[in-house]
Amino acid sequence: MSFATISGPVALSGLPLMSDDLENQRSVDLATIDLNYDGFRALARNTHLSLHERTGFPDSYRAGQESAILSDIQSKLPALNRQGQVIVDVGPGCAELPRLLIELCRKNGHRLILVDSPEMLTQLPDADHVIKIAGPFPAVADAVRDTAGDVGVDALLCYSVLQYMFVDGNIFDVIDATIDLLAPGGDALFGDVPNASKRLRFFSSPNGQRFHRAFSGRDEDLSVTHYDLDRGRINDAVLAALVQRAQLAGCHGYVLPQAEGLPMANRRDDLLIRQP
């Protein structure tokens, strides 16, 4: 197998566990780890973990949910349902969702460009319609542009990844590079984005407190702190700024809800950017 590799420095956010620990521990408490690009590389090498765990999720959050997740993605990226398009998936990981996307692109005659670390990409199947580019985004944006060609990218997907880019680097660089890749009429979906403001609203509600009691198994309310800046996390203000950034670059920008029934729909949002 071969794929393009872009080398260079990768920003680190300071992991509670060293990469060696992430790579070798038989059990990793994913809720306590501040992951970044290098952290995911280490998780990908950990053969003790399930494929979902290597991508940062407990099995209970993703197993059996991938088809519903892909359906929600298809409803927001219409190019996936057309024929012969150029599709990019930034940070696909190595679990079931990118495998479903690979098959969908095969059926519809798309070219699919996968962008992730070498450790993740080697765990995904090779196919004639799949091109793999190893490296962090947007550092590899030029390689993606060269691979897509003059036609540009019809749909770019970045699912459950934007929050790590927010910590690792300049989030505006991600948006700018994405917009630069899109073909006229092309869409970019930053999906499954944790929104600290939405989470706060949910857990401040009666429904949120019931959810917490059912999830925790304890008959006690969750203590919620309002007006907490919550540094290092995406909130309403960050999403609004990203929408405005896209609009000022001549694109449409939207914050969209996830489909009801998805595992984290009550506290995550999708960000859609569309070239007119």
Residues 173-186 have pLDDT tens digits of 999 999 999 999 99
Kindly state whether residue 42 falls inside one of the protein's structural domains: yes
Kindly state whether residue 51 falls inside one of the protein's structural domains: yes
Backbone angles phi, psi at 194, to 5 degrees: -65, 125
User: Tell me: the pLDDT tens digits for 183-231?
Assistant: 999 999 999 999 999 988 877 776 767 765 666 667 776 666 666 666 7
Kindly state whether residue 127 falls inside one of the protein's structural domains: no
Q: Which residue in 166, 150, 159 sits closest to 80, CA to CA?
A: 159
Residue 167 in contact with residue 232, Cβ under 8 Å?
yes
Kindly state whether residue 55 falls inside one of the protein's structural domains: yes
Q: Which residue in 197, 194, 213, 163 sits closest to 263, CA to CA?
A: 194
**Total domain count for the chain?**
1
Residue 79 CA to residue 232 CA, distance in Å, equals 33
Residue 13 confidence (pLDDT) above 70: no
Two tokens at 186? 């092309």
Kindly state whether residue 3 falls inside one of the protein's structural domains: no
Query: Which pLDDT value is given to residue 259?
Result: 96
Residue 151 confidence (pLDDT) above 80: yes
Task: Output the CA–CA distances (angstroms, integers) from residue 164 to 68, 106, 138, 189, 233, in the order listed.
Answer: 23, 29, 13, 15, 9
From first CA to last CA, the distance across the chain in angstroms is: 37
Residue 265 in contact with residue 208, Cβ under 8 Å?
no
Judged by average pLDDT, the poorest of 11-20, 43-52, 72-81, 152-161 is 11-20
Residue 246 in contact with residue 273, Cβ under 8 Å?
yes
Tell me the average pLDDT across 26-39. Answer: 84
Query: Which pLDDT value is given to residue 216?
Result: 65
Kindly state whether residue 14 falls inside one of the protein's structural domains: yes
Kindly state whether residue 133 falls inside one of the protein's structural domains: no
Two tokens at 6? 């872009």
Range of the domain at 15: 10-62
Chain-wide mean pLDDT for the chain?
89
User: Tell me: the pLDDT tens digits for 86-129?
Assistant: 999 999 999 999 999 999 999 999 999 999 999 999 999 999 99
Kindly state whether residue 161 falls inside one of the protein's structural domains: no
Tell me the average pLDDT across 77-92. Answer: 99
Tell me the average pLDDT across 241-258. Answer: 98
Query: Which pLDDT value is given to residue 144?
Result: 99
- For the stretch 101-110, what's the b/e string if a residue is b when 16 or more beta carbons lie within 10 angstroms of its beta carbon? bbebbeebeb
Backbone angles phi, psi at 220, to 5 degrees: -150, 145
Two tokens at 48? 């003790």
Residue 8 confidence (pLDDT) above 50: no
